[in-house]
Structure 1
Amino acid sequence: MNRLIRATLAGLIAAALVLELAGCGGDDRTGSPMSATPDPSRLAKQFADLVQRPDIDQATARYEAMSGQIRDALSRVYPDLRWRQTSQLTGAACGFGYPGLETDGEQRGLANWMAPGSIPDGRWDEAVQVVRTVALKYGFDKVVTTVSRPEDHEVVFSDLYDAELNFGSAVNTTLLVRTGCHLTAEAKKRGHPAFSPSGS
């Protein structure tokens, strides 16, 4: 599939998630798995785990810096790449895995980047190594090949916070980053969940 189409679809899915949370009962705590009353001990543990992570603004800044360094490194090796931003940053609540933390936690899709044209098959492994060298400095030490066909390649790097870095090349070359779940700065400063399962 064309990387630009994939990037566009990813942006549309993220936007749909935001609209779903904002307009279809995101604040209603009854009647859906997202709003089911969470187990108090699980809520406390998840919040305590998230407190150990950077807040969402810190994480976003770090990943944006990584993305910029990767684009610069690739452009030095492949001078024909001309990167342009194809979407804006999007955000949503952390999802079904974090019931009760919908107002405390957030995950974001960073702006997508695309360069018209592809990296030749014979140089794809070299390109992955360029990305890996930068990504490792930011803790992205896991990599999975998701597409490997002639003139169509994609790998996904991830870190211990479940962030994902997608790098692909087909008709276009793309770079996408999605964060894992992080507390807002306000929630982290508060030090406890805004929602109390006991209702207190």
Structure 2
Amino acid sequence: MTKWKPVPRSDNNSLGFLATAIACTVVLTACSNGADPYLDNDNSREDMSLQHQWSELMQRPNIDEVVAKYEKMQKEVTEALSSELGLPQWSIGGNNSTNPGCNDFRQVDSWDAIKESIAGTTTPARISTEQWPKAVDTIKRVVAGHGFTTPGLVVDKGDFHTMDLYDGYGAKFNVMTGTEGNNTVIGVSTGCHLLPEAKQRGVPRSTATPPTG
């Protein structure tokens, strides 16, 4: 059973937010006034009933299933980059962190649905500007097979490069290289998914029949 606990925002999230600002002001990326994945402010389902939101989540894999899928994808990406670009061995830093509730499914109880950030993986080498286009092609080829085909933030500023890709559940894949640590970091954060026990129950917590005894 998946356990969750709130965790503070990491430095990588701060870098992501900074990169968003760079994208809007320096790279001249069009930034809308609508939902922003960095601010987690998607209100497109705000008028949907609990039952409609629940029904949509029931059609998704549960959180444990989707995390296993993304961890496999992350490993495939690092192996491909090492093979094609000669990057040194990757290491996983820390543990997965979970966040209760989903702003994009606000009607659903936070004990039923969560988002999870998968522990990032790092290699002690940066991808050079000359290698970056090949790295992008390699990454896109691998993650497309897992549904990550929607482009997000892209920043190319000197030796610093970062790119986001999204899947249909709102999960984000991020690669970042050329940071102060002179390394390359890959991370994945999920969209909103039900806990296994919630999906097995089949109905929202608030409407479930209490056990008798």
Same fold (TM over 0.5): yes
Q: Given the alignment, which residue of 53, 56, 80 partners 1:46?
A: 53
Out of 69, 73, 76, the residue aligned to residue 76 of structure 2 is 69
Which of 53, 63, 67 does residue 56 from structure 1 map onto?
A: 63
Higher helix share: 1
The SS at the match of 1:80 is: coil
Q: Is the 8 A contact 1:7 1:112 kept in 2?
A: no
Give the TM-score, by structure 2 length. Answer: 0.72
3-state SS of 2:205 partner: coil
Residue 118 (1) aligns with residue 126 (2): yes
Shift of 1:7: 6.5
Equivalent residue runs for 1:19-168 within 5 Å: 42-99=49-106, 100-168=108-176
Q: Distance in 1 between matches of 2:131 and 2:15?
A: 27
Greater shift, 74-83 or 45-54, is seen at 74-83
SS at match of 1:110: strand
CA contact (8 A) 1:43 1:101 kept: no
Residue identity in the other structure for 1:66: M
Question: Which one is further off, 97-106 or 109-118?
Answer: 97-106
CA–CA distance in structure 2, aligned partners of residues 70 and 41 of structure 1? 36
Residue-by-residue CA offset, 1:75-126 (whole Å, 9 max, x unaligned): 1012233211122101111333323421111110001111112111011010
Task: Write the deviation string for residues 118-170 of structure 1: whole angstroms up to 9, x where unpaired.
Answer: 11101101001111111000000112243211110000010000000001111
Whether the 8 Å contact between 1:91 and 1:108 is mirrored in structure 2 is yes
What RMSD over aligned residues (CA atoms) do the two structures have, in Å?
Answer: 2.3
Determine the C-alpha separation between the residues in 1 that align with 2:102 and 2:152. 23
Letter in 2 for 1:86: G
Shift of 1:8: 8.6
Distance 1:119 1:102 in 2: 39
Give the 3-state SS of the residue equivalent to 1:195 in structure 2. Answer: helix
Q: What SS does structure 2 have at the residue aligned with 1:111?
A: strand
By relative contact order (CA 8 Å, sep 6+), the higher-ranking structure is 1
Greater mean alpha carbon deviation, residues 39-48 or residues 67-76 = 39-48
Extract unaligned runs of 5+ from structure 2: 1-9, 17-45, 208-213
Unaligned runs of at least 5 residues, structure 1: 11-38
The range that moved more, 74-83 or 127-136, is 74-83
State TM-score, norm by structure 1.
Answer: 0.76
Which consecutive aligned stretches of 4+ in structure 1 deviate over 6 angstroms post-superposition?
Answer: 7-10
Taking every aligned residue pair, what percent have the same amino acid on both sides?
A: 28
The aligned residue for residue 6 of structure 1 is: 12
State whether residues 148 and 166 of structure 2, in contact with CA within 8 Å, keep that contact through their aligned partners in structure 1: yes
